[in-house]
């Protein structure tokens, strides 16, 4: 059995405080028996992509760097594998949304067994990620760790069956999706439930299609995207207008922030939800995964057997009309 823990956490403006909170949560999870712990997407900061501001490149860091150094100490102390989503500075002017996997058994710098750079980058009102993150160039990956074969994908990747499939074909047994997704306050009442449902449904479908476990870990709480830089809080001035809309309903006003919907969950290889977090509280979500279920499920639902690899060439096209 493999015990996994997802840290559903809320972030404050102080990036150092968030790192210490994350370290504490990893220790708690380890004390609870976890063998692998996944942190939410970009856990070191509030979700700053709510605006485009060059000053925010000031919080980027190298990998290895300060975050992995701090977490590697916790990994060595506790013996757990940690998946950490970071704002990577790869070179001046070249930044990625990167997941680093720290394994106590790894002899690499900061115990970094491998990294994955987010392949699919969104860009929507309040999610201006294309401004900050260069799309990943490492492709999809499965990493053989001391806690199993882990696939790391990040947030927007979760809407792409191609990403889950390629990661599973590389041998991953558990797909982890560090995430930062939430409701626009003006949309929550009308669209909130269906948005959460679609988000969970498509990730459960990746478990089904591939016969793998899926772990999605989201942040929680209402954020204006406050980030402390050099002792000053960087935020969107509340007088700056935002135009947001869905299906014809438009709201114009001051930055309303985002209400991150938590709802982290763990699904088995047939898409059943094994563990489900709340939508409004910090918590550590844990489950025992029996990795033998993967082969049993795939034998009874042998989807991998019958893929028409001779006929999937069109998937590398933008459109086929």
Near a second copy by CB under 8 A: residue from 134, 246, 276, 278: 246
Q: How far is CA 294 from CA 5, 61, 102, 215, 301, in A?
A: 19, 37, 24, 15, 10
Q: Would you say 79 or 122 has its CB closer to a second copy?
A: 122
Residue 215's nearest CA partner among 17, 19, 29, 23 is 29
Q: How far is CA 234 from CA 93, 238, 287, 312, in A?
A: 20, 12, 37, 47
Return the range that interacts with a second copy (CB under 8 A); candidates 56-64, 88-96, 213-221, 241-249: 241-249
Rounded CA-CA distance 184/71 in Å is: 32
Instruction: Assess 249 for contact with a second copy (CB under 8 A).
Output: no
Active centre residues (catalytic): 41, 118, 155
Q: Would you say 54 or 300 has its CB closer to a second copy?
A: 300
Residue whose tokens read 């060595």: 76
Token reading at 238: 């509340």
Please, what is the minimum distance in Å from the beta carbon of residue 134 to a second copy?
13
Q: Would you say 230 or 310 has its CB closer to a second copy?
A: 310
Rounded CA-CA distance 19/21 in Å is: 5
Q: How far is CA 321 from CA 221, 226, 308, in A?
A: 43, 44, 21
Please, what is the minimum distance in Å from the beta carbon of residue 115 to a second copy?
16
Query: Per-residue x/- marks for a second copy, 121-160, CB under 8 A?
Result: xx-x----------x---xx-x-------------x--xx
Q: Which residues contact 304 (CB under 8 A, 6 or more apart)?
A: 210, 211, 298
Token reading at 65: 């760097």
Query: Per-residue x/- marks for a second copy, 262-301, CB under 8 A?
Result: --------xxx-----------------------x---xx
Near a second copy by CB under 8 A: residue from 45, 71, 208, 217: 208
Binding site for a second copy (CB under 8 A): 119-122, 124, 135, 139-140, 142, 156, 159-163, 165-166, 169-171, 194, 197-198, 201-202, 204-205, 208-209, 246-248, 270-272, 296, 300-304, 306-321
């Amino acid at each position: 059995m493999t015990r996994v823990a997802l840290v559903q956490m809320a972030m404050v403006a102080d990036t150092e405080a968030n790192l210490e909170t994350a370290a504490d949560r990893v220790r708690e999870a380890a004390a609870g028996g976890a063998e692998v712990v996944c942190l939410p997407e970009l856990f070191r900061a509030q979700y700053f992509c709510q605006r485009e501001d060059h000053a925010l490149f000031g919080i980027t860091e190298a990998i290895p760097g300060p975050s992995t150094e701090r977490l590697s100490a916790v990994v060595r102390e506790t013996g757990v594998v940690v998946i950490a989503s970071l704002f990577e500075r790869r070179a001046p002017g070249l930044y990625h949304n990167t997941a680093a996997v720290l394994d106590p058994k790894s002899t690499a710098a900061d115990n970094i067994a491998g990294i994955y750079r987010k392949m699919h980058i969104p860009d929507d009102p309040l999610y201006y990620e294309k401004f900050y993150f260069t799309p990943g160039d490492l492709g999809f990956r499965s990493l053989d760790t001391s806690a199993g074969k882990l696939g790391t994908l990040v947030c927007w990747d979760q809407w792409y069956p191609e990403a889950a499939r390629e990661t599973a074909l590389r041998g991953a047994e558990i797909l982890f999706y560090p995430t930062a997704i939430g409701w626009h306050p003006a949309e929550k009442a009308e669209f909130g439930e269906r948005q959460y449902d679609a988000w969970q449904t498509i990730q459960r479908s990746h478990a089904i299609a591939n016969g793998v476990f899926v772990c999605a870990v989201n942040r929680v709480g209402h954020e204006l995207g406050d980030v402390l830089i050099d002792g000053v809080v960087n935020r969107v001035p509340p007088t700056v207008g935002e135009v947001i809309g869905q299906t014809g309903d438009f709201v114009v006003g001051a930055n309303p922030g985002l209400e991150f919907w938590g709802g982290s969950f763990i699904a088995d290889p047939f898409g059943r939800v094994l563990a489900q977090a709340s939508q409004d509280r910090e918590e550590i979500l844990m489950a025992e995964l029996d990795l033998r279920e993967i082969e049993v499920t795939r034998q009874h639902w042998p989807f991998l057997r019958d893929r028409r690899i001779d006929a999937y060439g069109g998937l590398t096209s933008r459109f086929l009309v």
